[in-house]
Structure 1
């Protein structure tokens, strides 16, 4: 399994298969995985999204500005296609492995 890390502009391997990843998601340890990347009110913002949307965050989560004051970032719902296209663009610009079809969904 791979994912676009919100704290680095790169796709990262999790070094687990799908069954291990699914078990981890159900284990309750997701919160610690994302420590420092959630702002007050994130649950309510996420709950308001429909299944075709993601959240655009600016400055980007990997930036010094966002790390210094995460609650002050600007966030808005956008089509998930836009989130994935931006991730793909960052991966290409940084020389990371192209995520393939994930950037075209």
Structure 2
């Protein structure tokens, strides 16, 4: 299993298979996984987007500004295609490995 990390703009291995990942997820593993990417009130904000939306964060989660003070970022729901396309564009600009299907319409 791998996931595209919004704070590094890279696919990162989880070093587990699908069944182990699913067990981890069902046991509540995701609760602490994203701790460094959460802000006060994140649950309410995360409930607002539709299934075809994600949360755009500015300054971007991979920036020093966001890492320094995640609470001070602005956030709003946007179409996932926009969010993923932006991440794919930045990976290319930064010379990171091609993210593959991210941002494909």
TM-score range, shorter chain: 0.7 to 0.9
Number of aligned residues: 105
Deviations 1:23-69 (A, max 9, x none): 22112121221122100111001111110000000001121111121
TM-score (norm 1): 0.86
TM-score (norm 2): 0.86
Mapped partners of 1:33, 1:66: distance in 2 = 18
The answer (yes or no) to whether the contact 1:10–1:90 under 8 Å persists in 2 is no
**Equivalent position of 2:69 in the other structure:** 69
**Equivalent position of 1:38 in the other structure:** 38
Equivalences for residues 41-60 of structure 1 within 5 A: 41-60=41-60
Give the secondary-structure state (helix, strand or coil) at the position aligned to 2:87: helix
Gaps of 5+ in 2: none
Change (3 A) 1:95 1:18: farther
Gaps of 5+ in 1: none
CA drift at 1:91: 2.5
**Which portions of structure 1, spanning 4 or more consecutive aligned residues, are displaced by more than 6 angstroms?**
none
**Equivalent position of 2:24 in the other structure:** 24
CA drift at 1:70: 0.8
